[in-house]
Structure 1
């Protein structure tokens, strides 16, 4: 019985195939379906290119700077930190800035607000409050000096995130106040 069933099925399949091929006029049809463009996937911590910025001036600070709109703000003395998800911007003034950590790459850069000493290095993040995990942050610290005044901008984001343009907006926006 099983061999008879197989023979019937094979005969039925052969007839079905023959019927499909017996069409009088073959019709041209597309066998491919349009594929949508791949969705761009940004690495964790990428700040969107369409991020809006607002000018911030802390009381007592000798400068103003643009920061991303909507980021949370905390203040501790002469240090103001803006954070959103995995990124942060720390603004400091007053005391002479601390030296760059060992292994940091340093250079002098020109920005709209003047020359700055830039240090780039990596640093472990604080442990996540929920998971306890840490990540490696890419850090850029800019020290602007005018006479005896210092403006220190420290920008942090996950290693591998493409934040070149947003960090440039922030560092180019520094303006010394009177």
Structure 2
């Protein structure tokens, strides 16, 4: 988990910097990843994947010092960082990160700059969609993709994860909201609840 959060922290500033370059009219070319992560193969999805958030799950309000609020699952382990926070329960997680940016991200910028950086930072990334979303907090970019998890230090096994990231922008702030769980887990309603609960303060 700690390694995963470090990778997320690297991607957010890179996208913010790319947005600045794009506004200035500078062409940014994605460099092909050469790390071992780039050639890792996707692991099979679990037949009976764990990670469903119960329908009875209670959600509470989280007010971030960086200037936004969000509903998060009650009882999940919370870790605060200078750029955001994470909430984790077993195989499931919610991560929010904040960075500076000069302009709102676009679908084109996400596809040409953010996704390549995501593919270098995460394991066996398969992106299924990059779309604009209209949410109560305003326009956002939604990226849906799957990855391999980190190796379990005890079993030395990995699971296939499904992920969603939302990119929100306002007044020079870029917030990345990420959800992840074992692929096949049924968390559609819960992830929708949390993404729609995001508000700027």
The two structures have a TM-score, normalised by structure 2, of 0.62
> Does 2:98 align with 1:93?
yes
> Superposition RMSD on alpha carbons, in Å?
1.8
CA distance in 2, matches of 1:64, 1:72: 18
Cα distance, 1:114 vs. partner? 1.4
CA distance in 2, matches of 1:159, 1:129: 20
Contact 1:62 1:149 in 2 (8 A): no
Aligned length: 135
Q: 2:52 matched to which residue of 1?
A: 46
Cα distance, 1:43 vs. partner? 3.9
- In the alignment, structure 2 segments of 5+ residues that lack a partner are 1-47, 106-112, 120-125
Q: 2:87 matched to which residue of 1?
A: 82
Q: 1:67 matched to which residue of 2?
A: 72
Please identify the structure whose Cα radius of gyration is greater: 1
CA distance in 2, matches of 1:133, 1:126: 8
**Compared CA separation, residues 43 and 124, structure 1 to 2 (3 A):** closer
Contact 1:137 1:156 in 2 (8 A): yes
More helix by proportion, 1 or 2?
2
Runs of 4+ in 1 over 3 A off after TM superposition: 95-98
SS in structure 2 of the partner of residue 99 of structure 1:
helix
> Does 2:138 align with 1:114?
yes
- In the alignment, structure 1 segments of 5+ residues that lack a partner are 1-41
Contact 1:140 1:156 in 2 (8 A): yes
Instruction: From 112, 131, 134, give the equivalent of 2:155.
Output: 131
Say which structure, 1 or 2, has more relative contact order (CA 8 Å, 6+ apart). 2
CA distance in 2, matches of 1:150, 1:73: 21
Q: 1:161 matched to which residue of 2?
A: 185
CA distance in 1, matches of 2:196, 2:50: 24
Q: 1:142 matched to which residue of 2?
A: 166
